[in-house]
Chain A
């Protein structure tokens, strides 16, 4: 999980071209949008496309669930872990 949290941070930085931001600068539990990392709505769309390409995740556009997934790096990582588990048990 710790390793995946680092990977997700690197994924966010790379996907969103976050200049001058290092993985260590991102708090595991801080909000990604608004006050925390300061991302905006285009970033949420970009992350959605990135998650689809990198992890095969398909998020619906504007739901409460999506808000929770993007709440923090930890929430996003937990969602990816859960989804990968689904992939492992369901499709492989």
Chain B
């Protein structure tokens, strides 16, 4: 399989980084982590572009996703959306479980908004759009799953795809159960507008470098790869042996 994609535009948010400049600085830095976010109270982004009656339904991760989706410079024009998250709004699932343990009545609002396509649904309602919406929960393989889905939709004729990644910090109740390999991250949301092209290619990769990659690429590693012109290849997954390769300069 060879699937060519171009990156048209991107948008990213964490509590500490809002502007493209701060993200470019981050991409040049040593650590790919956007901060752990553990035990820190975080202010959600204001997301003023989304009407209050819809916005109130979104949790902090949902608001982070809505923030990158509704930035004026992105100017949504009905592109198909793909939402990828490993755990989604996990803190809401935890709140529901606590509620269930204490009583038999669950908050309908929390329940309806605890699913992976919640933020996408709110965005579509705000935009009055009816474009295709895909929500993927692929565990640690979210990056390769999202890019594969995007490549498939582009190969199938879509002119543009909006690919969205987002995670929130693991709730405190899970800290001691988290494997050391579990990504510890602050809230983040990333949006990539992709189109067909030959800038990047999704290729099977049986190279030694790919085999060495024991951890699947994280969404933040994908952003860093996109922002690093000198990087030629990003191993995505040790399971699917997929790599994202950048077209060599002048090739």
Contacts and interface: CB of A to CB of B under 8 A. Distances in A.
Q: Contact residue range for chain B?
A: 10 to 19
A16 B105 CA distance: 16
Given A49-B105, A49-B107, A52-B105, A42 B53 contact: no
B30 to A, nearest CB: 39
Contacts of B109: 16-17, 42-43, 45-46
A20 interface: yes
Contacts of A21: 52
A92 interface: no
Q: Contact residue range for chain A?
A: 10 to 19
Contacts of B57: 17
Interface of B: 52-53, 55-57, 103, 105-109, 112
B56 A46 contact: no
Interface of A: 16-21, 38, 42-43, 45-46, 49, 52-53
Nearest to B58: A17
Contact of B52 (A19, A42, A46): A19
B107 A38 contact: no
B108 A20 contact: no
